[in-house]
Amino acid sequence: MFNKKIKSVILAAGRGTRMKSELPKVLHTIFDKPLISYVIDAVNAAGNIDENFVIVGHEAEKVEKFIMSEYDNVKCILQSPQLGTGDAVNRAAPFLKDFDGYVIVICGDTPLITSETINDFIEFHNNNHADLTVMSAIYENPKNYGRIIRDKNKKFIAIVEEKDATYEQKAVKEVNAGIYCINWKTVSPGFSCLKSNNAQSEYYLTDIVKWAVEQNLTVQSYILENNDEIFGINTKLHLAQAAKILNKKSLERLMNEGVQIIDTESAFISPETTIGADTLILPNVYITGKNKIGNKCKIGPFAHIRDGAEIGNNVRIGNFVEIKKSIIKDNTNVSHLSYIGDSELGTGVNIGAGTITANYNPITKVKSKTVIKDGANTGSNSVLVAPVTIKEMASIGAGSIITKDVEAYSLAITRAPLKCLSNWVKNKIEQFSGRTGEK
């Protein structure tokens, strides 16, 4: 690697008008994870970037609150009003005074970018001693993207936005990915020279290219091979398309690692889930967040695992089962119609159909833990009201509501005793049979 400091500026202040939503664009999620998190995580996983600035504006408090709760190496900078991407980068200038290194500028709405690509991009910029490198890609249908404009000698001279492009320029298939590597010292003076005399009356970041060319700075483009990575989310359709791309990649990785997936069209598994070899994923499984699932498990059909699951080997998570933030050890079965949340299940546990761990008190908003020790079992339709512990080998009778800890090897049952009223039905029939003809 080289000896340059690198910082990032992530643009997330725009309204995201085309999403037609009350929610800021960058807080829209794929696998329950906001778009901005995908970008911050990719930047953080790329080597050497020591400080990140996120430009917030539209619904700034919401975006900032989320970022502050998740990251401690990110500073949010307010851009108000939102005057365009060029103005957005300029908001970071006061924090980068005298900075003599590279600044990676990246849009907060490109969740598919990987840290490998970011690293490669910075390396390319550094090796070529460039002042400004713009990431580009070739799109058959370049609609919505800025076009990379070259002169007769193929020299990269400008970026023109779709809305400002001439008919000929619109035909250009090389597009601006919205990711830039900037030699801050030489290029940053250009940000205060940008003009807003364009179709959107905005200060375009893309105009920095023309400025840098005029100053005789070294400007180049880095053409990305896998153009999926720079897919920008502007609409809800784009969001669904990006989720598909991310899921496809995630399923391919899992299958390469020995996981069997019956139906790749209906299985959705987050990229942050690891699954051991010979685990079988049945149709309609939805797994979000960070989870670890062992070998030889059987998951689904119709199972929902919702973040923070640690599942051992040879575990069965069956039909219409939801698992959240729970540890489930080897050889345990949760086969049908159950909710297991904030729980710890030992080995060889059997959870009867319709067992619910009642973990949440909506009045106090407190979530409590359920512990079920090795070899214990619950009968069908049991409710375990947390905090509660079911000790080793204990048994819960079907239909019970468990509000106290249950001792090892004992049976706990809260069911009302069964009454059997002989001939009750027969008597009713006789009682009503004399009344035929009545309405």
Distance CA 41, CA 45 (A): 6
Residue 51 CB contacts under 8 Å (≥ 6 apart), including other chains: 7, 8, 73, 75
Rg over CA atoms, the chain:
29
Stretch binding ligand UD1 (CB under 6 A), from 12-20, 214-222, 265-273, 430-438: 12-20
Instruction: Extract the runs of DSSP E, i.e. beta strands, from 244-338.
Output: 260-261, 268-269, 273-275, 280-281, 285-288, 291-293, 298-299, 303-306, 310-311, 316-319, 321-324, 327-328, 333-336
Residue 381 and residue 352 in contact, taking contact as beta carbons nearer than 8 Å: yes
Q: Count residues contacting ligand UD1 (CB under 6 A)?
A: 30
Q: Does 85 bind ligand UD1 (CB under 6 A)?
A: yes
137 binds, among Ca ion, ligand UD1, none (CB under 5 to 8 A by kind): none
Nearer to Ca ion, 117 or 400 (CB): 117
- The two tokens of residue 296 are 């030889």
Cβ at position 178, least distance to Ca ion in Å: 6
Nearer to Ca ion, 109 or 330 (CB): 109
Nearer to ligand UD1, 133 or 206 (CB): 206
Q: Does 346 bind ligand UD1 (CB under 6 A)?
A: no
Residue 312 CB contacts under 8 Å (≥ 6 apart), including other chains: 294, 328, 329, 330, 331, 332, 347
Q: Does 11 bind ligand UD1 (CB under 6 A)?
A: yes
Nearer to Ca ion, 15 or 195 (CB): 15
**58 has catalytic annotation:** no
Cβ at position 246, least distance to Ca ion in Å: 17
Cβ at position 391, least distance to Ca ion in Å: 55
3-state secondary structure of 289: coil
Q: Quick one: 187 exposed, middle or buried, by C-beta within 10 A (0-12, 13-18, 19+)?
A: buried
Residue 389 and residue 406 in contact, taking contact as beta carbons nearer than 8 Å: yes
Put residue 348 in one of left, alpha, beta given phi > 0 → left and psi -120 to 50 → alpha. left
Nearer to Ca ion, 20 or 426 (CB): 20
| Residue choice 9, 14, 184, 210 for contact with ligand UD1 (CB under 6 A) | 14
Q: Does 89 bind ligand UD1 (CB under 6 A)?
A: no
Q: Quick one: 43 exposed, middle or buried, by C-beta within 10 A (0-12, 13-18, 19+)?
A: buried
Q: Does 384 bind ligand UD1 (CB under 6 A)?
A: no
Q: Site map for ligand UD1, 121-160, x if CB under 6 A?
A: ------------------------xx------------x-
Q: Which residue in this structure is represented by tokens 């009750």?
A: 424
Distance CA 260, CA 252 (A): 10
Nearer to ligand UD1, 243 or 413 (CB): 243
Report the Cα 371 to chain-centroid distance in Å: 29
Nearer to ligand UD1, 179 or 305 (CB): 179
334 binds, among Ca ion, ligand UD1, none (CB under 5 to 8 A by kind): none
Q: Does 184 bind ligand UD1 (CB under 6 A)?
A: no
The residue whose Cβ lies closest to ligand UD1 is: 146
Q: Does 239 bind ligand UD1 (CB under 6 A)?
A: no
Q: Does 12 bind ligand UD1 (CB under 6 A)?
A: yes
Q: Are strands 6-12 and 49-56 parallel, antiparallel or unpaired?
A: parallel
Q: Does 222 bind ligand UD1 (CB under 6 A)?
A: no
Q: Does 279 bind ligand UD1 (CB under 6 A)?
A: no
| Residue choice 6, 9, 13, 285 for contact with ligand UD1 (CB under 6 A) | 13
Cβ at position 5, least distance to ligand UD1 in Å: 23
Binding region for ligand UD1 (CB under 6 A): 11-14, 55, 57, 79, 82-85, 87-88, 107-110, 145-146, 159, 161, 175-178, 204-206, 232, 234
Q: Write out the catalytic residue numbers.
A: 336
